[in-house]
Amino acid sequence: MGIVAGLDSSSAFTQIVVCDSDTGAVLRQGYAPHPVDPKAVEVDPQAWLLSLGEAAGGGLLEGVQAIGVSAQQNGLVPLDQQGGLVRPAILGNDKRAQVAAADLIEALGGREAWAHAVGSVPQATHPVAKLRWLARTEPQSAQRIASVLQPHDWLVWQLLGRPQRRTTDRGSASATGYWSAATGSYRHDLVELALGHPCALPDVLGPAEAAGTTPEGLLISAGTGETMAAALGLGVRPGDAVISLGASGSVMAVHHEALADASGLITSYADAAGLHLPVVHTLNAVRVLRGTAEMLGLDDLDALSELATQSTPGASGLVLLPYLEGERTPRLPHTAGTLSGLRRESMKPEHLARAAVEGMLCSLADALDVMRARGVEVRRVFLLGASAALPAVQNCAPGIFGAHVVVPQPADYAAMGAARQAAWTLGVAQGTLSPTAPPVWPEAALHVLEPGDDPAVGRAVRQQYTATREQLHPGAFGMAFGI
């Protein structure tokens, strides 16, 4: 039996799981918060190491033979010629680069040019946009940048003792805005376009390659970003989609090829196992439920869910278009949410509660259909997030998504994915595993939700929502569906 560890350095904490490399059984765990303001957009990355050290205290890593690292995505760690920090790391939640992203889109010739170049259109979160922002607002700092890393890359480099060679993996690289999942190569010209001069980028490792060995002899796998690690930890495969319910929402699926999406709605990531992971984001998910609960004077989302279950499918004709913060899918950045279908019989609290749940899920189903329209097969949907446990969400989701829905048992799947990658790398090094297939670990414990006896009910809810969306925002999805 081998022992491996998975380390997940998220935006707020470090979680470590120590696992049996053969079975995936969790042997022990460690946790520590980051000693920084969770709302901060900049941080000294030493905070990540302090958190890691605290989480690994008490001999947690005793007997571990290999470690995989997962970390928050879209962060930028700028280094000088000697490998020192030029300035604090910029985190993924920083939105100051919105204008810089728009500048880059125009400079390359539009969204379609970027989609074909690297599989994504620059957003404020992307490292390529952050580089452009630095070049415009902090030119002296930008001039000193000799190399750039993301949080996962920097942590791996630190664990290895800061060797001359710096590495990343194809999953993290695909989130930068200057590496193409389709070609498997960097676009150095886009880095220079953003920063104003060339800089060194980390070597991109394959899924089962080792980044190196620590001075203590511990094998470190390639590591990856949190999204890719979570997919590996969940064990998703072609035919599966993962819908994440946060304040905003995301839909991702495993696919056999990279997708160049001229509309910019699909971000074409690589996964951590050699395939691809197209992702569609929405700006509004659980914030819709929280806002509705506040409007109705309810204490929490459980109360909103209970109220929603007192209504019926279609909410007596009430439709909530949940574009409270504008929307990214469809691209309606300056719009607002809309409540439609108000009649005397529909003006009841339970119908509004139901319309909020249905509106949130229909918006995510729209994002799912963007994937399907590009040939991505979806037979099963994993529903993640605390709100996935709400009875009203579970009651509505299968019919609206038109697929079997499974709700995994809560766990840090990014840390589990990192541990699984470590087991894979260790097995390849020992000659017991193939570099083309990760170890088979038991599937996460799942609560399976059936589509229901009458799938026409879910279709009717979608049709009501779609008709309202098209009436108020005609053609909003035209480009996404090739119309």
Model confidence pLDDT, tens digit, residues 90-102? 999 898 999 999 9
CA 438, CA 87: separation in Å to the nearest integer?
37
pLDDT of residue 445: 75
pLDDT of residue 410: 87
Note whether 47 and 20 are within 8 A (CB).
no
124 located within any domain: yes
We report the CATH number of the domain holding residue 208 as: 3.30.420.40
CA 363, CA 281: separation in Å to the nearest integer?
10
pLDDT in tens, 285-307: 999 999 999 999 999 999 999 99
pLDDT of residue 86: 98
Picking from 331, 384, 321, 332, the residue whose alpha carbon sits closest to that of residue 358 is 321
Which stretches of 160-310 are assigned E, i.e. beta strand?
A: 167-169, 179-180, 185-186, 203-205, 210-213, 219-221, 224-225, 239-245, 249-253, 266-270, 276-282
163 located within any domain: yes
Q: What is the mean pLDDT of residues 420-432?
A: 97
pLDDT of residue 453: 59
- What pairing do the DSSP bridges indicate for beta strands 66-71 and 3-9? parallel
The band of 63, judged by pLDDT with boundaries at 50, 70 and 90, is very high
Dihedral-angle region of residue 474 (phi above 0 means left; psi in -120 to 50 means alpha; beta otherwise)? beta
Please state whether the peptide bond connecting residue 442 to the residue before it is cis, i.e. omega within 30 degrees of 0. no
pLDDT of residue 263: 81
Q: What is the mean pLDDT of residues 178-197?
A: 97
The band of 60, judged by pLDDT with boundaries at 50, 70 and 90, is very high
Total domains present in the chain: 1
**In 3-state terms, what secondary structure has residue 97?**
coil
pLDDT of residue 262: 78
Question: H/E element holding 367?
Answer: helix 349-373
Task: Tell me the pTM.
Answer: 0.92
CA distances from 467 to 3, 249, 470 (A): 54, 22, 5
Q: Which residue has the higher pLDDT, 173 or 455?
A: 173
- Angle, helix 286-295 to helix 301-308, in steps of 10 degrees: 80
pLDDT of residue 286: 97
101 located within any domain: yes
Residue 65 has pLDDT above 90, yes or no: yes
pLDDT in tens, 17-49: 999 999 999 999 999 999 988 789 999 999 999
20 located within any domain: yes
Q: What is the mean pLDDT of residues 2-11?
A: 96
162 located within any domain: yes
Residue 205 has pLDDT above 70, yes or no: yes
CA 4, CA 17: separation in Å to the nearest integer?
8
pLDDT in tens, 133-142: 999 999 999 9
The band of 483, judged by pLDDT with boundaries at 50, 70 and 90, is very low
pLDDT of residue 452: 63
CA 97, CA 95: separation in Å to the nearest integer?
5
The band of 451, judged by pLDDT with boundaries at 50, 70 and 90, is low
327 located within any domain: no
pLDDT in tens, 392-415: 999 999 999 999 999 999 889 999
Task: Please enumerate in sequence order all residues whose Cβ is within 8 A of that of 79, keeping only pairs 6 or more positions apart, or say none.
Answer: 85, 86, 145, 146, 147, 148, 149
* % the chain with pLDDT above 90: 90
Q: What is the mean pLDDT of residues 327-343?
A: 95
Beta-bridge partner residues of 32: 14
183 located within any domain: yes
pLDDT of residue 128: 98
235 located within any domain: no
pLDDT of residue 481: 56
The band of 359, judged by pLDDT with boundaries at 50, 70 and 90, is very high
Note whether 456 and 416 are within 8 A (CB).
no
pLDDT of residue 1: 67
Residue 351 has pLDDT above 60, yes or no: yes
Which stretches of 34-127 are assigned E, i.e. beta strand?
A: 42-43, 66-71, 77-79, 89-90
Domain with 145 in it: 3-228
Residue 482 has pLDDT above 60, yes or no: no
| Burial classification of residue 29, based on how many CB atoms lie within 10 Å of its CB (0-12 exposed, 13-18 middle, 19 or more buried) | middle
- What pairing do the DSSP bridges indicate for beta strands 404-408 and 89-90? unpaired
Q: What is the mean pLDDT of the chain?
A: 95
